[in-house]
Amino acid sequence: MIDLHTHTIFSDGELIPSELVRRAVVHGYTAIGLTDHVDFTNIEFVLKSVKKAKYLEKEWDVHVIAGVELTHVPPNKMEKLVTKARQLGAELIVVHGETVAEPVAPGTNSATVCLDGVDILAHPGLISIEDAETASDNGIHLEITSRKGHVMTNGHVAKIANEVAATLIFTTDAHCPEDLITREKAIEVAMGAGLDKSDADRVVSDNSRKLLERILG
């Protein structure tokens, strides 16, 4: 299991990095992205903190990816913060998309999918086919998630992504211990979004592995 979108106590998660990673390993994880919520006010602190968790890689034979989730950032400021995140050493950049579960600023999806440096547009809600096409052109993954609230539009995201050959990726967007799941459960969630078994396996396993390989170089 590779999960490239999770949260610790450095934003609104319940666990310190060591416990989150340990619980993930017990669930069969081989890689985990620590992607706490950031904006211009806390990005330096969060990245400096999560980078320290990389020592766990040698302890538990797991890849620990130090990343961020750019969250509720005004669309016209998104490019500036993406650039700043990379300059600060973020290995993985997730952007908090226009989920129907939160009042995300309209235009966030459109502002994100055209940017170099973004890896995942998380829970993009009722994403337009035009934005999905642009994400596909720029190698930005569209997220299928098991996270409560955000899960409501998985079916729409999968349908639109398949229409334009955009790349889907599965994450838990974990905030608490109960959010971590096994690979088998992740495939069930992906199938619940309308994917067949083969496509669900590709989204959960192959696409996550390819992105991890891109991150690791």
pTM: 0.98
Q: What is the pLDDT of residue 177?
A: 97
Q: What is the pLDDT of residue 20?
A: 98
**To which H or E segment does residue 149 belong?**
none
Indicate the domain borders of the chain: 2-216
Q: What is the rounded end-to-end Cα distance, in angstroms, of the chain?
A: 19
Q: What is the pLDDT of residue 39?
A: 98
Give the pLDDT of the chain (217 residues) as one tens digit per residue: 999 999 999 999 999 999 999 999 999 999 999 999 999 999 999 999 999 999 999 999 999 999 999 999 999 999 999 999 999 999 999 999 999 999 999 999 999 999 999 999 999 999 999 999 999 999 999 999 999 999 999 999 999 999 999 999 999 999 999 999 999 999 999 999 999 999 999 999 999 999 999 999 9
Architecture of domain 2-216: Alpha-Beta Barrel (3.20)
Q: What is the pLDDT of residue 14?
A: 98
**To which H or E segment does residue 162 belong?**
helix 154-164
C-alpha torsion sign, points 59, 179, 163, 67: negative
Q: What is the pLDDT of residue 145?
A: 98
Is the distance from CB of 175 to CB of 149 less than 8 angstroms? no
**Which residues are within 8 A (CB) of 2 and not within 5 positions of it... i.e. 6 or more apart?**
29, 30, 31, 32, 205, 208, 209, 212
Distance from C-alpha of 148 to C-alpha of 160, rounded to nearest angstrom: 21
Q: What is the pLDDT of residue 11?
A: 98
Q: What is the pLDDT of residue 159?
A: 98
Which residues in 90-110 are b (16+ Cβ under 10 Å) and which e? bbbbbbbbbbeeeebeeebbb
State the CB neighbour count (10 A cutoff) for residue 194.
16
